[in-house]
Amino acid sequence: MTDEITRRLRELGEYGNGVIPARLDTRFMPTRSDAKAFIDDILLLARKADAVLEAYGNELLSHGVIDRTSLGDFVGVFEAALLGNATFAIEDGMETLLEARHEAAQ
């Protein structure tokens, strides 16, 4: 089981080494598609980190440290946290920015 943790950590590291993060071009105003790109980036990162956390949970389960019910506390934790917080902040901030831009243009 420890091998699974190591494999997931390496996958996370490879992701971190190879990812090209979303960027905002300072020559243009951000758009909804820019916001979506940032959300996609952080959710992918969360899924990669969740895989590591789940591997830890499975390791603990295999040794009887936690039970199957508790394993749920190791599944999808990061993604769930981001869906209610960071993604909302990005979407809300983008909407505010777009509204301000629209009002300034009138």
Cβ atoms of 94 and 76 within 8 Å: the answer is: no
Report, as ranges of residue numbers, the positions in the chain whose pLDDT lies below 70.
1
Q: Which residue has the tokens 């295999």?
A: 62
Q: How many CB atoms lie within 10 A of CB 8?
A: 20
Return left, alpha or beta for 76; rule: phi > 0 is left, psi -120 to 50 is alpha, else beta: left
Model pLDDT, residue 1: 64
89 vs 39: CA distance, rounded Å: 10
Please report the pLDDT score of residue 67 as a whole number. 97
Tokens of 44: 């992918």
51-72 pLDDT tens trace:
999 999 999 999 999 999 999 9
Amino acid 28: pLDDT? 84
The confidence score (pLDDT) of residue 27 equals 80
> With 0-12 CB in 10 A as exposed, 13-18 as middle and 19+ as buried, what is 92?
exposed
Looking at residue 79, its amino acid is E
